Amino acid sequence: MMETLEAAELCFPRLLNMSCRKPTRSHAGVILFYFLSFISLLTATLNLLVIISISHFRQLHTTTNLALLSLAVSDFLVGLVVMPGEIILTETCWFLDDVTCAVYYLLPFIIISASAASMVFISVDRYVAICSPLQYPTKVTLKRVRVCVSLCWIYAFLVSILLMYDHLKQPGRYNSCSGECVVNISGDLDLVFNFIIPISIIIALYLRVFVVAVSQARAMRSHMAAVTLGPPQAVTAKRSELKAARTLGIVVAVFLLCYCPYYCVSLTDGKIMIGSAAEAFMSFLMYFNSCLNPVIYALFYPWFRKAIRLIVTLQVMQPGSRDTNIL
């Protein structure tokens, strides 16, 4: 009877000495499961609204919004693929083979790396817009932005392959029992390619943007009385660029707050065991950043709030809705 009961608690009852035990779910665990499932659904829904907004309305087909679209796509995939996978993996045994386990973890690394790369590109875009406003229209074209977005995703793919190379070459090498899906990455490489390099670039660019933006804001205030000396459109455009820089600066700051805990642990410990409870908590904090980004857009971008109303009321289905004045 005891052997039967013990076997029922195993992922693979026939492998008594090799099988992992089934994860147990407490009452708090059930509440956490539904809460994380709600966050996952909310993340996918909000970012889908961003994707539809920028893709549908012609006025939003700008270089900056194309960079935001790349970030929204990666954030959408976090809510649609990464979060549900993380939730399911912590609640059940792994019944697939080791190769599938390795590939399963490759996709989240690609998506997260793409988010970091998109943040870098957004910072570069704001740097050029604020620090070289006259050259911005010629330097940052839609064609060049499309190429840069493609390079961001290619970078994410290559970095993820590099981080997962050992495990892809020998899947299942870190599993302690059957029914477990655990991979081990090089924390040093992950730290360098997905944190130190992107964060260094982002901070350096935004420090420069902050200095220039402050000086421009002072200049606009001091010359407000003499606005007739120049076209009002120029002042309005400059204000718009400064506001965009401030909003995207908040996005970057939230990104740093959500990503720092995970990589601070990596700084103190060269390797992170993927699949552990501590890693799962820090990963969900990173994933939660994908839910916060569209919330920030809704708070600071009137065009996004207007676009949401048009999408929810299905007015985007009407003929000619692509040319709606959304700004």
pLDDT in tens, 155-189: 999 998 888 877 777 777 777 777 777 777 666 77
- pTM, two decimals, is 0.81
* Whole-number pLDDT of residue 50: 92
Find the mean pLDDT for residues 251-255: 80
**Mean pLDDT score, 247-265:** 77
How deeply is 79 buried, as exposed, middle or buried, from its count of CB atoms within 10 A (0-12, 13-18, 19+)? Answer: buried
**In this predicted structure, what is the pLDDT of residue 258?**
83
In a domain, 43, yes or no: no
User: What pLDDT sits at residue 145?
Assistant: 92
In a domain, 127, yes or no: yes
Instruction: Outline where 57-133 has alpha helix (H).
Output: 63-77, 83-91, 98-131
> Is residue 122 over pLDDT 70?
yes
pLDDT above 60: residue 135: yes
Greater pLDDT, 232 or 116: 116
Report pLDDT digits (tens) over 273-296.
555 556 667 777 888 888 888 888
Query: Whole domain around residue 171: which residue ranges?
Result: 63-222+234-300
Q: 256 in a domain, yes or no? A: yes
In a domain, residue 37? The reply is: no
How confident is residue 137, by pLDDT bands cut at 50, 70 and 90? Answer: confident
How far CA 48 is from CA of 45, 71, 72, 234, in Å, comes to: 5, 11, 8, 33
Share of the chain above pLDDT 70, in %: 77
Residue 41 within any structural domain of the chain: no
pLDDT at 2: 38
pLDDT tens readout for residues 15-43: 666 777 776 666 666 777 788 889 999 99
**Band of pLDDT at residue 4, cut at 50, 70 and 90:** very low
Each residue of 110-139: b (16+ CB within 10 Å) or e? bbbbbbbbbbbbbbbbbbbbbbeeeebeee
pLDDT at residue 26, rounded to an integer: 62
Mean pLDDT, range 303-321, rounded to an integer: 88
Going by pLDDT thresholds of 50, 70 and 90, the confidence category of residue 196 is confident
What is the pLDDT of the chain when averaged over all its residues?
A: 78
**Which pLDDT value is given to residue 5?**
38
Q: For residue 30, is it within any domain?
A: no
Residue 39 lies in a domain: no
For tokens 């990963």, name the residue.
Answer: 283
**What CATH number does the domain containing 68 carry?**
1.20.1070.10
Number of folded domains that form the chain: 1
Instruction: Tell me whether residue 2 is in a domain.
Output: no
